[in-house]
Amino acid sequence: MTTDAAPAGTAEGPAQRGPDADHPDEHPAPTPRAELADPAPAAKAAAAGWMLVAGVVLAAFNFRTAVTSVGAILAELRTGLGMSETVAGLLTTLPVLAFAGLGALAPRLARRFGPRLLLTGALLVMSLGLVARAWAPSTAVFLLCSLLALAAGAIGNVAVPVIVKRYFPNRIGAMTTAYSTTLAVGTAVAAAATAPIEHLVDDWRVALAVWALPALVAIVPWLLWRPAAAASGAAPIDGLRGVRRSRLAWMMLAAFGCQSAIAYILMGWTTTILASDGMDAAAAGSMLGVLTVVQIPVSVVVPILTVRWGPRPVFLVLMACYPPALAALWLDGGGPLTWAAMVLFGIGTSVFPLILTLFGLRARTPAGTSALSSFAQSGGYLIAGAGPLAVGWVFGLTGSWSVPFGLIAVLTALLLFAGLYVTRERFIEDELRPT
């Protein structure tokens, strides 16, 4: 009975035993190998997989270009639009607000439209926003169009970790490496190339609009990708209720928020701090460039090591860079130790790709990844936006950098506390399991 019940093609099935001598007609000759092993489906699945990889990588390149391209030519932009300092401050805070607000909508949009339509639409809206804001006739229109230009980054921040968890569950480290590294490269390229483009064409509007081109290119793989083959056996991106009851979700929010706040403070205030210590503007800007350049190679290895070694040892190595970096910048800002401080900060702030990796590792399902990613990033970006504003406020009150450095030290301590929790193996679905 056992033999008769075995499925065909297994070690116990008739496909392996051959025809029965007593009943030859009941066991026809096996189908030729060429007919059994049709390579077409496998080839199509592989092509779909590589198309999805290209879609994720090209999309990630564009997630920050709308932000850093503005910062590179902010002076020309303010002059061209007659923008006040207050509005300029709002413009620098707008990305964080967009990432928090639009990111909160990403899981619902992903469930309704799917990743293909969601990323395609976000990149298209981003392209239109980049072009429209470049020729905006007023500051108000520029700000409105900037929200459209930030759409892909806000949606992609949440959607990409879910896509990685769903379609590459066994390649989370490698895919997060590709995503976070390309994100860092796009951020640096837009910051470095926008000003030279503006000088070349002598038009700040063209220098801003040109970043719509890579966004349009990034749409192509999503139009060509057919998810059916890649999604074989994948769980749907359902909702996960009660996320606010999860301690893991709150700790992920705290870790993401503190890390992002430190990074935004460094990006927004490092040059001012160094200038107040006597360093000229060009040298101060180059120091910030050192921090950004260091992040790129570190971002390549952090997700892979996180999966291979486990997140906690990698996290502790990165966190060990913060205390000496803070001490060097505080005690010898503008001096020889500034180089060491920037290198250490570049390594330490690479906690960011580690947390991106944890969105996939701390959930058993795409729904869990979506819930963690949306909850942590939406709330975390609000903390991140408050960080630079708090530094400016306390410096204006005290006229000293001691309190801002103390604020960074507090954020570092909170990041360590939250990080020790989230780097321990646990899953959000377990915390939300009905009792």
Q: Are residues 170 and 311 in the same domain?
A: no
Q: Is 307 exposed, middle or buried (0-12, 13-18, 19+ CB in 10 A)?
A: buried
Cβ atoms of residues 145 and 132 within 8 Å: yes
Note whether residue 20 is domain-resident. no
Q: Does pLDDT of 37 surpass 70?
A: no
For 293, half-sphere exposure in the C-beta direction (CA atoms, 13 angstrom radius) is 10
Number of domains in the chain: 2
The torsion angle over the Cα atoms of residues 118, 124, 130 and 131, rounded to 10 degrees, is: -160
247: its two tokens: 């301690």
Q: Using alpha carbons, select from 190, 192, 250, 274 the residue that is nearest to residue 371.
A: 250
Question: What's the half-sphere exposure (Cβ side, CA atoms, 13 Å) at 318?
Answer: 31
The pLDDT-based confidence of 30 (bands split at 50, 70, 90) is very low
Do residues 242 and 332 both lie within one domain?
A: yes
CA distance 283 to 265: 18
Q: Pick the closest to residue 372 from 103, 94, 64, 95 (CA basis).
A: 103
Q: How many CA atoms lie within 13 A of 303 on its CB side?
A: 28
Phi/psi of residue 242, each to 5°? 75, 25
62 with 195, same domain: the answer is yes
Q: Which of 314, 312, 313, 337 is nearest to 326 (CA)?
A: 337
Looking at 225, 252, 267, the residue that finishes a domain is 225
* Residues, the chain: 435
Alpha-carbon distance 303 to 310, whole Å?
Answer: 10
From 225, 249, 269, the end of a domain falls on 225
Do residues 135 and 283 both lie within one domain?
Answer: no
Q: Give the max Cα distance, the chain.
A: 99
CB 333 within 8 A of CB 277: yes
Residue 428's φ and ψ, nearest 5 degrees, are -65, -35
Q: Name the average pLDDT for the chain.
A: 82
What does the H/E/C string look like for 226-247?
CHHHHCCCCCCCCCCCCHHHCH
pLDDT grade for 336, boundaries at 50, 70 and 90? confident
Q: Is the pLDDT of residue 281 over 80?
A: no
Does any domain span residue 49?
Answer: no
Domain hosting residue 209, numbered range: 58-225
Is the residue at 17 inside a domain? no
Q: Examine residue 52 and state whether it is found in any structural domain, yes or no.
A: no
Q: Are both 183 and 315 inside the same structural domain?
A: no
φ/ψ (deg, to 5) at 320? -65, -15
Sequence-distant (6+) residues with CB within 8 A of 269 are 388, 391, 392, 404
Tell me the pLDDT tens digit for each residue of 57-93. 999 999 989 888 887 787 788 888 888 767 776 777 7
pLDDT (tens digit, 9 = 90+) per residue, 220-233?
999 988 765 434 44
Task: Judge if 258 and 389 occupy the same domain.
Answer: yes
CATH number at residue 218: 1.20.1250.20
Q: Tell me if 37 is assigned to some domain.
A: no
Residues 341 and 209 placed together within one structural domain of the fold:
no
Establish if 286 belongs to a structural domain.
yes
In a domain, 82, yes or no: yes
Are 81 and 208 in a shared domain? yes
pLDDT in tens, 365-386: 888 888 888 899 888 988 888 8
> Are the beta carbons of 126 and 66 closer than 8 angstroms?
yes
Residue 421, burial from CB neighbour count under 10 angstroms (0-12, 13-18, 19+): middle
Considering the domain architecture, whether residues 287 and 382 belong to the same structural domain is answered as yes
374 plus 301 within the same structural domain: yes
Q: Are residues 94 and 186 in the same domain?
A: yes
Question: Do 190 and 339 belong to one domain?
Answer: no
Residue 397 lies in a domain: yes
Last residue of a domain, one of 175, 198, 225: 225
